Structure 1
Amino acid sequence: MPRASRRYFDPEGKKYGIPTWPWGMGPSPDEWATPRQLTARGLRPGGQPVARQIAWRTRRGDRFAYLYRVEQALPKRPMTEARWASIHKATRARRICPTLQTYEIPRRYGVCNDCPGGAGNQAAA
């Protein structure tokens, strides 16, 4: 088990503005969850502010995972017909091969991989 850094241990929130714990020392997952964990439970933050955070260090610098109260989370909104329609409309707006009318073509060639001149038909040099 990795050793937790005391650098991020700030349960009062004096250093980071909100209560902060190092990776592996966070508050109870039954009471607090990240947005991804809420989604897995069929919930969403529902407009509540970030209440806690988990911090750790990577090569790119400090990283933070924001935590929300599970009891204040709201159920996820169901997909309505209008939302599905907007997703289908956005999907259709992607580039379509003018020759074969296939789904989404690479910008590099301007045609799909199956068309003459496409990546799939390029002769090996």
Structure 2
Amino acid sequence: MGRLADLWDPQGERHDVPTFLWRMAPDGLATRNQLVAQGLRPRGPAVAQVMWFSSKTPGVPRFARLYEIAGATPPRPRSPGQIAALAAALRARRTCPECGEVRPYCLPTSLGVCVPCADGFTAAA
């Protein structure tokens, strides 16, 4: 397992970008997920990163890029064409190629068809 002291690099000398430990980043910086939770999107490059060790990747540090909150903006509104394309794509993911029914859930990719068709219980037409 690595050492936390190896990750701490607030001047960016070892990691080429200022690096902080988990929960020790200065105020005014946030990860992409934290910005999205606030209804914002990062604009511009990451200015720092946070690193930590995880049991999922023993000995290999994990990291998350940090962006300036002051530089973040609300997402751009989607055009009507983008909204229509997204609706069509999601409908395609719910349409069974075997029975043609539009299900209220996305079809499992492991089955390739809706659950009733995979189980052999298709409705009589």
Q: Same fold (TM over 0.5)?
A: yes
Please state which band the TM-score falls in when normalised by the shorter chain: 0.7 to 0.9
Alignment match, 1:79: 78
Question: TM-score scaled to structure 2, two decimals?
Answer: 0.75
4+ runs deviating over 3 angstroms:
104-111
Q: Which has the higher contact order (CA 8 A, sep 6+)?
A: 2
Percentage of matched positions with identical amino acids = 35
Cα RMSD, aligned residues only: 2.4
Distance 1:89 1:102, change over 3 A: closer
Residue equivalent to 1:36:
33
Specify which structure has the higher proportion of helix. Answer: 2
Which of 35, 49, 55 is the matching residue for 1:53? 49
- Structure 1 CA distance for aligned equivalents of residues 11 and 72 of structure 2: 23
Q: Does 1:114 align with 2:111?
A: no
Report if the CA contact (8 A) 2:91-2:102 is conserved: no
Superposed CA deviations along residues 9-45 of structure 1, whole A, max 9, x for unmatched, are 10110100000011122111xx111111111112111
Alpha carbons of structure 1 residues 120 and 56: separation in structure 2 relative to 1, 3 Å: farther
Unaligned runs of 5+ in 1: none
75 and 107 in structure 1: CA distance in 2 versus 1, 3 angstrom threshold: closer
Instruction: Give the number of the structure whose residues are more often strand, by fraction.
Output: 1
TM-score (norm 1): 0.75
Kept in 1: contact 2:7–2:51 (CA 8 A): yes
Partners of 1:109 and 1:49 in 2: CA distance: 40
| Structure 2: unaligned runs, 5 residues or longer | none
